[in-house]
Amino acid sequence: MSNFFDFLFGQYATYPIIDIYLEIIAVIFGFLSVWFSKKNNILVFPTGMISTLIFVYLLLKWELLGDMMINGYYFIMSVYGWYIWTHKTNDGDVTPITKTTSQEKKTSIIIFIATLVFVYAVYTYFEKWTSWTAYVDTFTTAIFFVGMWLMAKRKIENWIYWIVGDIISAPLYFYKGFTFTSFQYLIFTFIAIAGYLTWKKHLTNNQLT
C-alpha cells in the first residue's frame, strides 16, 4: 500500500507545501466549474476563474507554458462566457444551448490552427522543445482553446473537445508528476460525457416545445 501511495504522490515530497495546497484548491474549484457547466449553471464561470488564476501561477512556476496559456485563455473566455450566458436575445431569453453553425465550425478550425502556430512559436522562442510532452501539450492546448470558445457560446459540441482533451491530459499530467491535476482530468472526462448527454437532452426537449 505504501509503494502504491509513493507511486501516486511520491513526487510531492520535494514540492513546497503551499503549492500542494494551491493545486488542491484549484482542482476543487475546477471540479465545481465543470459540474456547474454540466448543470448549465452560470456559476461555471466564477468557480472556473478562481481555478484558472491559481493554475496560471502554478504552471508559470512549473514552466509549463502551454498549460499556463490554456488557463490564462480560460480566464479571459470565462469573462466573455459570463456575458454571453447572461446576455438576452431578441426574444428576451438568455443565450440558449445550440449546435454550431457552418461559420462557427470554420471559426473553430481557424482557432485550432492559430493556437497550434502560436504555441509552437512560444515553445520555440523559449526553447522548450525538450520533451515529447511539449508536442502533446501544443495539441491539447489547441483542443481546449476551441472547447472553451464553444462553451462560452453555449454550443453543445464544446463537450466533444473537452472529452478528447481530458482523455489526453489525464495521463499526461500524471507523467509530468501532478497527480491531483491528473485525477482532475480523469474525473473531468466522465463529467464531460455526462455534460454532453445532459445538454443533448436539454437541446432535444427545447426543439420539441
* Most confidently modeled range among 5-14, 85-94, 181-190: 181-190
Q: Per-residue pLDDT for 94 more than 80?
A: no
Burial zone of 19 (CB within 10 Å; 0-12 exposed, 13-18 middle, 19+ buried): middle
6 vs 32, more confident: 32
> With a threshold of 0.75, does the pTM exceed it?
yes
DSSP per-residue codes, the chain: -HHHHHHHHGGGGGS-HHHHHHHHHHHHHHHHHHHHHHTT-TTHHHHHHHHHHHHHHHHHHTT-HHHHHHHHHHHHHHHHHHHHHH-B-TTSSBPPPBPPPHHHHHHHHHHHHHHHHHHHHHHHHTT---SHHHHHHHHHHHHHHHHHHHHHTTBTTHHHHHHHHHHHHHHHHHHHT-HHHHHHHHHHHHHHHHHHHHHHHHHHHHHH-
* Average pLDDT in the chain: 88
pLDDT tens for residues 141-195?
Answer: 899 999 999 999 999 999 999 999 999 999 998 888 888 889 999 999 999 999 9
Q: Per-residue pLDDT for 10 more than 90?
A: no
CA distance 194 to 32: 14
Query: Is residue 37 within 8 Å of 162, Cβ to Cβ?
Result: no
* The pLDDT value given to residue 60: 87
Q: Per-residue pLDDT for 121 more than 60?
A: yes
Q: Per-residue pLDDT for 87 more than 80?
A: no
Residue range 3-19: average pLDDT? 76
Q: Which candidate, 120, 160, 114, places its Cα nearest to that of 137?
A: 120
CA distance 46 to 32: 10
Q: Per-residue pLDDT for 1 more than 60?
A: no
pLDDT tens for residues 27-74?
Answer: 999 999 999 998 889 999 999 999 999 999 998 887 777 778 888 988
* The pLDDT value given to residue 137: 87
Least confident window among 23-32, 72-81, 91-100:
91-100
130 vs 52, more confident: 52
